[in-house]
Structure 1
Amino acid sequence: MLVSTTEHIGKEYEVIGEVFGMTTQSRNIGSNLAAGIKNIFGGEIKGYTQMMEDARDESVQRLKENAKKMGADAVVMMRFDSGSIGNDMQSVAAYGTAVKYVDERISD
């Protein structure tokens, strides 16, 4: 299924409606320890970065599954939103507009 951050995808479509995919991930103890050390010395916290990448990928997969359930062919204008829940969890939402391609064949 096509997921695009743009509105124009080279095909005519009709809007079905808004669609979301969400996930919440928690940090593991190793990431928390590394974060504490990196907080002192600085640098990337690779465990957190990986957690965010995994959350992003999972939210897009769920977005596609939900769009498919709606009968969509594609999702346009996809965006991400994220936020912290407490100190150890991160929530990521992928959202956009589910669309269905318009049949461009001319009937006789």
Structure 2
Amino acid sequence: MADTLLVVTTEHIPGHEYEVIGEVFGLTTRSKNIVSNVGAAFKNLVGGEIKAYTDMLEESRQQSVERLRDNARQMGADAVVMMRFDSGSIGTDMTTVAAYGTAVKFK
């Protein structure tokens, strides 16, 4: 199997039969520094994309998927199907991102 564990958003992986191992997840919580928060406050006055927060969320998604892969490897999985994201805020300047799915083992 390749070094990178396969993660898909679909229920089926074409050409593979597998058995379900169980639920897997990866989670991260992040906050931006005070400089980014001040910049975001100014941007909020004029509107538009807040690049620092977009970057933070992209990094969070990538890290949560890597943690999901690590969790699946520990369970002996060959892949993860039905991967989804969930996110939320903690307080005013922290964001949490979870990647979750179903770990499977190829037959």
Shorter chain as denominator, the TM-score bin is: over 0.9
Q: Give runs of ≥4 in structure 1 deviating > 4 Å.
A: none
TM-score for both structures, normalised by structure 2:
0.93
| AA partner of residue 12 (structure 2) | H
1:30, CA displacement in angstroms?
2.1
Distance 2:34 2:63 in 1: 21
What is the letter of the counterpart of residue 2 of structure 1?
L
Tell me the SS of whatever aligns to 2:49. coil
Match of 1:42 among 32, 44, 47: 47
Q: Distance in 2 between matches of 1:101 and 1:51?
A: 34
Which protein has the larger Cα radius of gyration, Structure 1 or Structure 2?
1
**Quick check: 1:74–1:98 contact (8 Å CA) kept in 2?**
yes
- Aligned position for 2:74: 69
**1:63 shift after superposition:** 0.1
TM-superposition CA deviations, 1:17-67 (whole Å, max 9, x none): 000000001111122111111111001000000000010000000000000
Task: State the percentage of identical aligned residues.
Answer: 70
The 2-side partners of 1:44 and 1:69 are apart by 38
8 A Cα contact 1:63 1:94, kept in partner = yes
Looking at structure 2, the residues matched to 41 and 57 of structure 1 have their Cα atoms a distance apart, in angstroms, of: 29
Q: Distance in 2 between matches of 1:90 and 1:27?
A: 9
Query: Quick check: 28-37 or 54-63, which moved more?
Result: 28-37
Q: Which runs of 5+ in 1 are unaligned?
A: 103-108
Q: Paired residues, what number? A: 102
